[in-house]
């Protein structure tokens, strides 16, 4: 078994196929050339993986293209798959996240958009409906925009309970629903918002990404706009785990597919200095739920390194040992077939990498 | 009957056609509404779900930049062109 790596960039989608060792990679030509691919959903609940690419043409707007044959062919519905209803008075600017629902809900797919909204599909991602419970939340007028826009970028369905759902947005923070999306509550206790006069607000945090632990679905990890946190109670409260990291700023946070307590991130120096700490291309890994972190860089570029890794541009595969992947805004993509111990180059000189997803094939 | 000229980059959305004969006339809004009914995929490339023409798409009626309320005569030519301001960074 190997991996198909879907690489969404500012100017197209690239599909890379690894050899059996996930060391050597063949990269295909740009699909949707000239079109930004901000995220790629992978639905592995059916007989074969389905890819859902969020394509965003700067002239002709956003859409979702679906492939049932690992990217050989793509199709788009005639009508916009993700669109606000007329009474919302706004239009979808960009799709930031596409995530299949839990295994108990085949056909359910969620999408997070800019402006911040959650959409739900019951037909495998062909058509979506606005989740009004979140859209009509009284906090919504106070949600702000981060540097990249105002968007829901994280969607975590609960693996054991389809009625439970967590989203995160920049800015706004973490919100949870326990009734299938009908009602929502903020879940940001312990996450700092240093940019407000009261740095511990109920909501308004700039959470960059949330990931769920492989073993305990109540254990979550958040990479914040300055701050790295863990929750052991499903988001009721958060505690800092940034102590041994070189910086608490960054965008992605990725959990191991099987092993509890193992996760990766890519620290940047600060929001005002968005480059890797000490200008070195290094991933950081923790194997004890964030108590200690260690750098991983064997095979990554030496010397001064400036490019950043965006929140959707890092992922793990489902194999054993787990593969870890990330792409940079300089158009480089790196892969590790041994949980980050060593790295090889998948591609270079691509457009800015916005998203990566690994599909075991 | 007004004719809508489809730019090359959008012809796949119009079944390969470069010219579309439109039954509606009166205003550009009426023309685009018919496009939405008959060629929904083409329509959503031109307008968002509110019906607003996309920021980096320009529509001309008989050579003049047009808005939804611009009059369209039975013999008018409507041209859809991607804006020079769009494109990938």
pLDDT tens per residue, range A179-228: 999 999 999 999 999 999 999 999 999 999 999 999 999 999 999 999 99
Q: Tell me, what's the pLDDT at B62?
A: 97
Looking at the structure, give the CATH architecture of the domain made up of residues B3-82. Answer: Roll (3.10)
Reply yes or no on whether the pLDDT at A148 is more than 90: no
Q: What SS3 state is found at B72?
A: strand
Location of structure tokens 């590790």: A336
Interface confidence, given as ipTM, is 0.94
- Are A61 and B54 inside 8 Å of each other by CB? yes
Contacting residues of A for B15, CB less than 8 Å apart:
none
Kindly indicate the confidence band of residue A149, based on its pLDDT and cuts at 50, 70 and 90: confident
CB proximity A78 to B under 8 Å: yes
Q: Tell me, what's the pLDDT at A74?
A: 97
Looking at the structure, give the CATH architecture of the domain made up of residues A3-360. Answer: 7 Propeller (2.130)
Taking 70 as the pLDDT cut, the residues of chain B under it are 86-89
- Are A78 and B40 inside 8 Å of each other by CB? yes
pTM over 0.90: yes
**Burial profile B20-48: b = 16 or more Cβ within 10 angstroms, e = fewer:** bebebbebbbbbbbbbbeebebbbbbbbb
Contacting residues of A for B58, CB less than 8 Å apart:
none
Q: What is the pLDDT of residues A278-295, one digit of tens each?
A: 999 999 999 999 999 999
Q: Which of A45, A2, A50 is nearest to A22 (CA)?
A: A2
Domain map (residue ranges) of chain B: 3-82
- Are A34 and B10 inside 8 Å of each other by CB? no
Location of structure tokens 């439970």: A164
| Mean pLDDT rounded to a whole number for chain A | 97
- Are A91 and B49 inside 8 Å of each other by CB? yes
Domain map (residue ranges) of chain A: 3-360
Which residues lie below 8 Å from residue A77, measured CB to CB, with a gap of 6+? A126, A127
Q: Tell me, what's the pLDDT at B89?
A: 66
């Amino acid at each position: 078994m190997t991996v198909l790596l879907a690489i969404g960039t500012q100017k197209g989608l690239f599909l890379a196929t690894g050899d059996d060792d996930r060391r050597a990679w063949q990269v295909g030509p740009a699909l949707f050339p000239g079109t930004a691919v901000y995220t790629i959903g992978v639905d592995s609940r059916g007989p074969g993986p389905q890819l859902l690419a969020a394509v965003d043409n700067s002239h002709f707007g956003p859409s979702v293209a679906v492939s049932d044959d690992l990217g050989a062919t793509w199709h788009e519905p005639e009508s916009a798959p993700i669109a606000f209803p007329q009474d919302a008075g706004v239009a979808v600017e960009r799709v930031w996240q596409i995530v299949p629902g839990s295994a108990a809900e085949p056909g359910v797919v969620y999408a997070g958009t800019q402006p911040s909204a959650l959409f739900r599909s019951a037909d495998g991602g062909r058509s979506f409906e606005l989740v009004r419970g979140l859209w009509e939340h009284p906090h919504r007028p106070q949600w702000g925009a981060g540097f990249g826009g105002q968007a829901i970028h994280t969607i975590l369905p609960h693996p054991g309970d389809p009625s439970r759902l967590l989203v995160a947005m920049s800015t706004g923070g973490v919100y949870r629903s326990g009734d299938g999306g009908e009602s929502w509550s903020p879940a940001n206790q312990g996450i700092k918002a240093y940019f407000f006069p009261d740095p511990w607000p109920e909501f308004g945090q700039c959470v960059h990404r949330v990931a769920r632990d492989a073993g305990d679905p109540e254990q979550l990890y958040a990479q914040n706009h300055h701050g790295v946190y863990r929750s052991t109670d499903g988001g009721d409260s958060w505690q800092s785990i940034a102590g041994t990291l070189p910086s608490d700023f960054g965008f992605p946070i990725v959990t191991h597919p099987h092993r509890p307590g193992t996760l990766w991130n890519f620290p940047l120096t600060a929001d005002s200095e968005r480059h890797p700490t000490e200008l070195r291309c290094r991933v950081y890994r923790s194997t004890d739920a964030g108590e200690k972190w260690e750098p991983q860089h064997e095979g990554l570029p030496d010397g001064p390194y400036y490019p950043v890794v965006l929140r959707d541009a890092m992922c793990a595969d489902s194999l054993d040992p787990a593969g870890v992947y990330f792409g940079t805004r300089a158009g480089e993509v790196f892969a590790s077939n041994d949980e980050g111990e060593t790295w090889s180059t998948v591609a270079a000189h691509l457009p800015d990498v916005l998203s990566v997803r690994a599909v075991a094939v | 009957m007004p004719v809508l000229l489809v730019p090359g980059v959008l012809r796949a959305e119009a079944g390969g056609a470069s010219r579309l004969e439109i039954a509606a006339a009166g205003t550009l809004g009426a023309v685009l509404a018919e496009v939405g009914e008959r060629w929904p995929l083409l329509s959503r490339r031109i307008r968002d779900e509110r019906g607003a023409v996309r920021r980096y798409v320009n529509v001309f009626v008989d050579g003049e930049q047009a808005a939804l309320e611009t009059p369209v005569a039975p013999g008018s030519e409507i041209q859809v062109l991607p804006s020079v301001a769009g494109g990938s960074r």
